[in-house]
Structure formats: structure tokens, C-alpha cells
Chains A and B, each alone.
Chain A
């Protein structure tokens, strides 16, 4: 039963991941990403991380992918990309070699270190107190990091507002005037 769940959710994860990198339309890539994220959430459930599975669905599939889709629609880049164009001729082959080599090396390492993992017996399932244990750990051992993430979120929001703000016409005129003044002063310096 566990093996069946593992195989099915792994198939979801891998099909979704391949869809993200192989589909031409960005909207379809975002929807493939949802498939991958749901597969990872199923893995979290079978690994007894119930809270993280819920957060994975709510934050990743609910917020981040929606943000992706929102930006795709906002910018109107939802037309299919031509994947035939290759600015660097060997880039795709090299990327394939890098991907295969990376996964090969990682899997070789894992398989070699398998005995280390197998030494300890699998621990009994923690049952229903996953959220309680996570909360106790988060608010006792990692409370400073938790508070700092709030600072991070504030900085990210403020920075994004600043980045995407459209400059008003008055500010644009002021900037142009400043540039012109700079140019004339430089010209005077050059004459001197």
C-alpha cells in the first residue's frame, strides 16, 4: 500500500517536473508545477509531516502558483515560446549532460551511503502530535529565526512595491531636468 502511494505520487512529481521544463506555454508550465507540488504534498503526508503538507498546498499551490499565473496574465506572455531557437548551439546538450551527471552522482552517493541509513531502525510514527511538536520546536528553539522571517517578509513587500512602482509624470520631468542640468555642468567643465 505504501509502495503504491509512493509510486503514484512520485509519478505525479516527475511528470509535473518534466512538464515544467518541456511545455512551451508558460501557463501549462505553471499548471504542471501544481501537479508536482501536490505530489510532494502527498509525500509529506506519507512521511507524517501533516502540517507541512497542508502548508505546501495552501502556500505553494494556493499562493505562489497563483502569483505566477497572475504575472503571466498581467504581462501577456502566455503565448507559446518557440523552443527551437537556441542562442548557444550546444547549450541544450550540455544542460542534459549536467542534469544526468548531477542525478547520477547524487544517486550513486545515496546508494553508497544506504547502509548508514539502514543501521538505525525506522522510528515509530509520531502519531497526531506533529503540529504540536513542530510548534514547540519553532517557538522555543527557533523563535529568533521566526521573528526574523517577519522582517524578511516586510522587506520583500516594501522592496517589491518600490520595484514595480510606476514613476509619476512629475517625477519623470524632475529626473529629466536633473539629467539635463548634469549634462550642461559637465559641458561647462569640459570647456574649462
Chain B
């Protein structure tokens, strides 16, 4: 009986919303800038999952194209963000996000 249930779009949307909420919570509670970046990746993946679920649901490939662009932008964002983190942590080792409240170097 259980095997007859086929996961519908709603299942994927619920999973994606839980994943997004976990990512948002992690972004709020973690203080290591690198782990905060990983939480942003989690949130981006949740959104990608909804894009693909809707793309297959409505038979429109545009959703998958959007995911492709999200991947590219995420890669660029990680490169720039990690560059910023390197230049900050080189100046003051062990800095957390709370130590970076001022823009002064």
C-alpha cells in the first residue's frame, strides 16, 4: 500500500521549505563565516529543488534553466566571498562574524 504512493510536487516543496528553514536557522546561529556560507548554499539548494519540481510539474524547461543560472551565480558568489574571508582572516586570525561589526580594517 505504501509503495503505491508516488511523491508529488507537494512532497518536494515541503522538503525544500524545511531545507530552506534549516539553512536560515544555521545562518542565524553560527558565527564562523565559512559555515555561514555553507548555510547560504543550503538555502540556494532548497530553491533549486523547488525550481526543478515546478519545472517537471508544469512541463516547462525554464525552471531548469533558472537552476543553471543559480549554479553559476552561486559559484561566483562563493569565489568572491571566500576571497573576502581570506583577506579578513589573514589580518585577524580566528575572527567570527560578530567581530566584523565595523568596516574599518
Interface residues of A (CB under 8 A from B): 1-4, 6, 10, 13-14, 17-18, 20-21, 26, 29-30, 33, 36-37, 40, 43-44, 46-49, 51-52, 55-56, 59-60, 63-64, 67-68, 71-72, 74-77, 81, 87, 91-92, 94-96, 98-100, 102-103, 106-107, 110-111, 114, 117-118, 120, 122-123, 126, 130, 133-134, 137-138, 141-142, 145, 149, 152-153, 155-157, 159-160, 163-164
A13 & B89 in contact (Cβ 8 Å cutoff): no
B15 smallest CB distance to A (angstroms): 5
Contact (A110, B13) CB under 8 Å given A81-B32, A117-B8: yes
Which A residues lie within 8 Å of B75 (CB)? 59, 63-64, 153
B25 & A98 in contact (Cβ 8 Å cutoff): yes
Which residue from B15, B29, B83, B85 sits with its C-beta under 8 Å from A10? Answer: B15
Interface residues of B in 14-64 (CB under 8 A from A): 14-15, 17-26, 28-32, 34-35, 37-39, 41-42, 45, 48-49, 52-53, 55-59, 61-62, 64
Which B residues lie within 8 Å of A152 (CB)? 72-73, 76
Interface centre among B26, B38, B90, B98 (most CB of A within 10 A): B38
Which A residues lie within 8 Å of B39 (CB)? 20-21
B45 & A138 in contact (Cβ 8 Å cutoff): no
Which B residues lie within 8 Å of A30 (CB)? 38
Interface residues of B (CB under 8 A from A): 2-3, 5-15, 17-26, 28-32, 34-35, 37-39, 41-42, 45, 48-49, 52-53, 55-59, 61-62, 64-65, 67-69, 71-80, 82-87, 89-90, 93-94, 98
Which A residues lie within 8 Å of B52 (CB)? 43-44, 47, 49, 52
Contact (A149, B72) CB under 8 Å given A2-B6, A110-B13: yes
Contact (A137, B62) CB under 8 Å given A13-B15, A160-B83: yes
A137 & B61 in contact (Cβ 8 Å cutoff): yes
A114 smallest CB distance to B (angstroms): 5
A59 & B71 in contact (Cβ 8 Å cutoff): yes
Which A residues lie within 8 Å of B22 (CB)? 14, 17-18, 20-21, 99, 103
Which residue from B7, B82, B89 sits with its C-beta under 8 Å from A77? Answer: B89
